A = this chain, B = another copy of it.
């Protein structure tokens, strides 16, 4: 567990490598500068140069690259622990690499230039090898088990809670921009809404015209919106009304 190779130099690696500290003996990235930036002097841009002398290999590549890379590195180090960090890729993608394989899936969105503290990020693990859990717990205080089916459900929840939410913020941003106003005017409101959702649960904190059943305001809002946004407004309002009718 003390000699770790990170395969991939993208957004996940950019937060993972600093969290692993001096356990990282090598970082592979197709773009040499990305690997070098994360682990100066320990970078490679050739899969042929990945060291066979490590205890753990962590694959942080994009989903579609995991299985082909596993095929490619099949004979490198069959006694090591091999894990990937993807929410969507089944553990079986790692089968060619050896019997000790697992998934260490951090539930977070990672971006270049925004290093995240891993300690608070929930990590979902899969794998029989006890080293999978040890690795995860060396990174985060919140480690839970999740097989492929559960990771898929987590992903759907994250799409609603994060991707779709961000899209609604982009719509709000556009509506404000049309009136010469800036998105950050909403910031205190959004932070308070999130704080409240986390503290008391989003269901009990629901407010707004649909929750109150205020059809007069809903109709006046729809008249002010372009057709595609008016349609989305209706759909979401109906979904709110339905959730609280039950």
Contact = CB atoms under 8 A, between A and B. Distances in A.
A186 B154 CA distance: 9
A65 interface: no
Given A150-B179, A153-B178, A165-B168, 14 more contacts: A111-B196, A122-B185, A154-B185, A156-B224, A156-B225, A158-B189, A160-B169, A163-B208, A167-B202, A167-B210, A169-B197, A174-B203, A190-B194, A191-B194
Copies of the chain in the assembly: 2
15 contacts: A108-B188, A114-B196, A120-B188, A144-B185, A154-B176, A157-B176, A158-B172, A161-B190, A162-B186, A164-B168, A166-B207, A167-B236, A183-B198, A228-B242, A235-B235
Q: Which of A107, A170, A185 has the most CB of B within 10 A?
A: A170
Nearest to A243: B170
Interface residues of A, number: 81
Contact of A172 (B157, B208, B211): B157
A232 B168 CA distance: 13
Interface of A: 88, 107-109, 111, 114, 116, 120-122, 142, 144, 150, 152-176, 178-179, 181, 183-194, 196-198, 201-203, 205-211, 217, 220-221, 224-225, 228, 231-233, 235-236, 239-240, 242-243
A131 B139 CA distance: 56
B168 A197 contact: no
